[in-house]
Structure formats: structure tokens, C-alpha cells
Amino acid sequence: MQRITYRVKVSAQGAKRRISYLLRPSKRILNTRSNLVSSVPPVTRTTTSRFAKTKKMAQVSSIALLSLPAESLTTMDSKVPAYDQVMLEETLTIAAVPGDSTYFATDGFQHGFGFDLVRGYADELGVDINLKAYADEEAALRALKSGDADMALTTASTQLKSKLNLSSINVSCGYDASLTDNGLHPKVSWSFNQTDDPLSQKASYFLCDSIKIGDTQKLAAFYNQKLLKDAYSQDHFKKTLIEQLPNYQSSFEEQARNYNHDWELLVAMGYQESHLDANAVSPTGVRGLMMLTNSTAKAMGVSNRVDPYQSIGGGARYLEEMKQSFSDVPKTDRIWFALAAYNMGPNAVKRIQRKLSEQGLDDKSWANVYTYLSENRASNSRYGQAMHYVSNIRSYLETIKTRMV
């Protein structure tokens, strides 16, 4: 089975809430319902850390042994609960299949409706994510079953999950319409080996909390899959990339390297801006493949806006400046903030952040910013423009990543 493994560092947000119960006093451990630990797989970091972790697990095993009923003392082959292993290694390993409702990769980080939810759960636990990509749903679920992953992110059928005797939680928590209305698969789910494992139980509480259900619906709106569903849009997008992209691909790739971007992200921006037309001119005077204003072009060192190489370089440099303007935003959400700022200016985005903060909402969550743009677009046309600008680029990029590459 061919497998591609990605290593992703999630944001540090939530790390202060990390539940390091393995280090807590024995009284806390005696009150847990974890199974008897018989062995601990080695963790290859440093000799010192490996010894320390083994010692911690040995301590947990000794105390758990004393707390078990006498008849349990003969059962010495119990597996380490997935939650224990995740917290010990500080890593949540996910088996997943790339798709429009699960995840896609760009800019060195994973994005997507399903993955963003997993990332939020990992933040809640205070752990990193190790994403393992598989070619199909059954392969991902079998990886979970065999212990190669702690949980699986799939759109697999109930029949397949039952066949493998896996428990699962639909991320919509029964609100399937919030997904289907946005063109997402109604049965995106997280699967686990055991229902009674704390990893599964905590995931259920995380997803089905009333506030979290609302957040999930906001996220689904941003990851709307309907933009390129009609035949005309699909054909135009594909035709443009086939006919125009070869003329500029080397420029996109070089300028992406110059400013530390994913080159296909710049392509998606170029299609949104001009449909990859180097001679495009708007009624407001912006010009070129990346449709730079005259003032922005000068600030970015662009002397000829209709020169494709210069235009792409100017756009790439400006996008990097926007990323730096939002360096306090978790890296996986930062690209969306940067794109919104590219369209409407960084100060406008920061004003929205301040309003969200005043309302007691997380001002570094793109889902919250996107919802604010959507709910207030009737009173400010720039909000509607920025909302569609970022959504369109996300959709073009996702199409490139999941269907055409």
C-alpha cells in the first residue's frame, strides 16, 4: 500500500490548556478508567526523553495495577488506550483521504473543511498533528484498525465502518443540511477503534458542543464547494489553465520561491484577478496578470504592470507583506487573512478583528472573520467582495490540488 506522510505543526493556541494527566499526582490517575498498560512503544526522540516517557508510563502502569479489581490482574495483554498514547507522544496521528470535504494541501500546510476541524481538536488537546494520506477510504480505515493511526478522517459509508468494527462521529452532529447546503459531503466523520476510549469521548464532546456546532456551520460556509460545480465554470477554468498557464508557469514557480509561497496559490490568485490575462485592464485602472494598482506596483518595485514576470513578482511580494501583517494569526489560517488584506487592505481586516474581539469572539479565527464579512456585506460592499475573493481563490486552489495535479 503506497502511503504519503505529512508532518504538520498546529498552532500553539490551546497549549496552555494541555491535559498532561500523566504527570499529575497519583490521586488523579487512580480516578481514571484507563486500561492496564502492559507495554509502551518506543518514541524515537532523544535517549533522555525516551527514558523519561517510559518511566512515566511505568508509573501509570503500577498505580493502575493496584486500582484494578483482582480478576483484572490476570489480563496483562491490554492495549494502551489511543488517548494515552496521543498525550504521551504529544501527537495525534490522522489517517485521511484527500477530497473536497476532508483536506487539501498547499503552502506546506494542510487545509480543508475536515482538516480544520481536526486541527481545532488537536489544539484543544495541546498536541501536534501527523497526517497520513491514503488512496481510498478503506485503506485509511484499515490503517486505523491496525494501529497505524489514532483516528481517521473520511467520508466512508456506515457499512464499511461497521464491517471493520469501528466507532465514528459525524462532524455535523446531526445537522447534515449545514454541510449539504454548501456542497460538502453530509457524512464527513471521525472514526476510532474504541467507543469508550477517552480520545473518542472527548472528540464527541468537542464536536457536539452547541457553540462548536455553530462554528462548524460557519466553517462549512467558507469551504462551500458549489463555485465550480456548473459545467461552464469548470470548462473555462480548465481551458484557461491548459492554454494560458504554460506561458507563465516558470514565472509563477520562480516568484513563489522568491517569496516563500506555494506557486499554485499564486496561479489561483492570477485566475481570480485576470483569468491569467497579462494585458487585462479594469475600469478602475488596475492592470496586468495580478491586477496591481499603480501605487501598489510602485511600492513593490514593479515598473511595468503588464510584464507577466514583474506582475507575478509584485503580487507575490505584496502577499508576503500581508502575511507578515498577520503574524499573530495561527499559520494555517494566516493565508486567508493575508488574501482578504490583499483585496481590501490590512487595516480593514484589523478593524473587523477588533469588532470581533469586542464581542468576545476569537479574532484570529478565519471562520469568524468570514462570518462577519458575510453577515455585514449588505451594509459594506467591500465585505462582500473580500468574502468572495478569498472563497474563490480557495476553491480554485482546492480544484488544482485535488483534481488536476
* CATH number of the domain residue 188 falls in: 3.40.190.10
Question: Strand 104-106 vs strand 109-111: parallel, antiparallel, or unpaired?
Answer: antiparallel
269 plus 153 within the same structural domain: no
Distance CA 235, CA 60 (A): 59
Same structural domain, 262 and 363 = yes
User: Shortest CA distance to 259 belongs to which of 305, 314, 183, 194?
Assistant: 314
User: Does the pLDDT of residue 323 top 80, yes or no?
Assistant: yes
Span 20-65, pLDDT tens digits = 333 343 333 333 333 323 333 333 334 444 444 444 444 444 433 3
Same-domain pairing of 98 and 215:
yes
304 has pLDDT over 90? yes
What average pLDDT score do residues 198-225 get? 92
Residues 248 and 214 in one domain: no
Give the confidence band of 229 by pLDDT, cuts at 50, 70, 90.
confident
Does 144 have pLDDT greater than 60? yes
Res 204 pLDDT > 70? yes
Contact 138, 156 (CB under 8 A): yes
Looking at the structure, tell me whether residues 120 and 235 fall in a common domain.
no
Per-residue pLDDT at 78: 57
Number of C-beta neighbours around residue 288 at 10 A:
26
Percentage above 90 pLDDT, the chain: 68
Q: What is the pLDDT of residue 105?
A: 77
What is the tally of structural domains in the chain?
A: 2
Q: Residue 380: which CATH number?
A: 1.10.530.10
Q: What pLDDT was estimated at residue 380? A: 93
pLDDT digits (tens, 9 = 90+) for 148-177: 999 999 999 999 999 999 999 999 999 999
For residues 127-149, average pLDDT: 95
The answer to the question of residue 21 being in a domain is: no
**What pairs with residue 7 in β-bridges?**
130
**DSSP secondary structure string for all residues of 256-299:** HHHTT--HHHHHHHHHHHHSS-TT-B-TTS-BTTTTB-HHHHHH
How much is the average pLDDT of 141-151?
Answer: 96
d(CA 238, CA 221): 24
127 and 210 in a single domain? The answer is yes
Q: pTM above the 0.75 mark? A: no
Could you tell me if 325 and 390 lie in one domain? Answer: yes
User: What pLDDT score was predicted for residue 108?
Assistant: 60
Percentage of the chain exceeding pLDDT 70? 79
The CA-based diameter of the chain, rounded to the nearest angstrom, is 82
The reply to whether 76 falls in a domain is: no
Give the structural domain span for 239. Answer: 231-404
Residue 211 is predicted with a pLDDT of 87
Tell me whether residue 212 is in a domain.
yes
Does 203 lie in the same domain as 260? no
pLDDT tens digits for range 68-122: 443 343 444 457 899 999 999 999 999 999 988 999 875 566 889 999 999 999 9
Record the cell numbers describing residue 374, joined without a space: 458575510
At 31 the pLDDT is: 36
- Same-domain pairing of 255 and 299: yes
| Range with the poorest average pLDDT among 14-18, 226-230, 253-257, 329-333 | 14-18
In which element (H, E) is residue 91 found?
Answer: strand 91-96
Residue of 124, 264, 273, 398 marked catalytic: 273
Q: Is residue 273 annotated as part of the catalytic site, yes or no? A: yes
The cell numbers describing 293, all together, are 494598482
For residue 106, the model assigns a pLDDT of 57
Mean pLDDT in the chain?
A: 82
Q: Are 153 and 135 in contact (CB under 8 A)?
A: no
Each residue's pLDDT tens digit, 40-50:
333 333 444 44
- 200 pLDDT tier (thresholds 50, 70, 90): very high
pLDDT reported for residue 89: 95
| The pLDDT value given to residue 95 | 96
Q: Which three cell numbers stand for residue 208?
A: 457536539
Using the predicted structure, report yes or no on whether residue 362 has a pLDDT greater than 60: yes
| Alpha-carbon gap, residue 83 to 90, rounded angstroms | 10
